[in-house]
Amino acid sequence: KLKSAPDHEVRILLLGLDNGGKTTLLKQLASEDISHITPTQGFNIKSVQSQGFKLNVWDIGGQRKIRPYWRNYFENTNVLIYVIDSADRKRFEETGQELAELLDEEKLSGVPVLIFANKQDLLTAAPASEIAEGLNLHTIRDRMWQIQSCSALTEEGVQVNHRPSFIYPCICFGPSHQRLVFT
């Protein structure tokens, strides 16, 4: 169990396919302007103070050519956040494959995962429960996981100050194999 302390750092790895909304999510968490977002070619790092923790969030680009380099960032990860474009149904299979590969990585063994079903502001977005079922998330038994509907654009379901519980079960209690769905 991690104890809250102003100097306690939590390393969060933010991954997902390109155009999923990872950088927008990161900027919203850091209370930064989101009007000029460009595709991440390498990585972005932001530190966010929240509830006594210093959250160091590593946003790694999601383009196919960058994904092989994701493993360079696995070391010492406390929480994995995986962002899915809920409105891009034609990429659900691809995003599911990438997530499954991440969950099989030895360096991420037991690391809690928070899955953001992003872009819920779009009418074509699949609900978090449908995504959870389609990705067979219920079969995850080796770590704590949670899926949450959100819109990085509108901050719905995102902002730490508005919903402090979304990440803290992951960092405070570690892998308890708990499954949570927030819609």
Binding residues: 16-23, 40, 62, 118-121
**Dihedral (Cα; 63, 22, 31, 47), 10-degree rounding:** -80
> Could you say which of 51, 63, 97, 178 is catalytic?
63
Q: Would residue 146 show up in a list of annotated catalytic residues for this protein?
A: no
Distance of alpha carbon 93 from alpha carbon 165, whole angstroms: 29
- Report residue 48: phi and psi, to 5°: -125, 125
174: left (phi over 0), alpha (psi -120 to 50) or beta: left
Binding residues for Mg(2+): 23, 40
- 57 and 48 Cβ atoms separated by less than 8 Å: yes
The type of residue at 133 is E
C-alpha span between 48 and 165 (Å, rounded): 15
What is the residue whose two structure tokens read 């034609």? 90
- Nearest alpha-carbon partner for 153 in 97, 99, 87, 105: 87
Going by the annotation, the residues of the binding site for GTP are 16-23, 62, 118-121
Residues annotated as part of the active site: 63
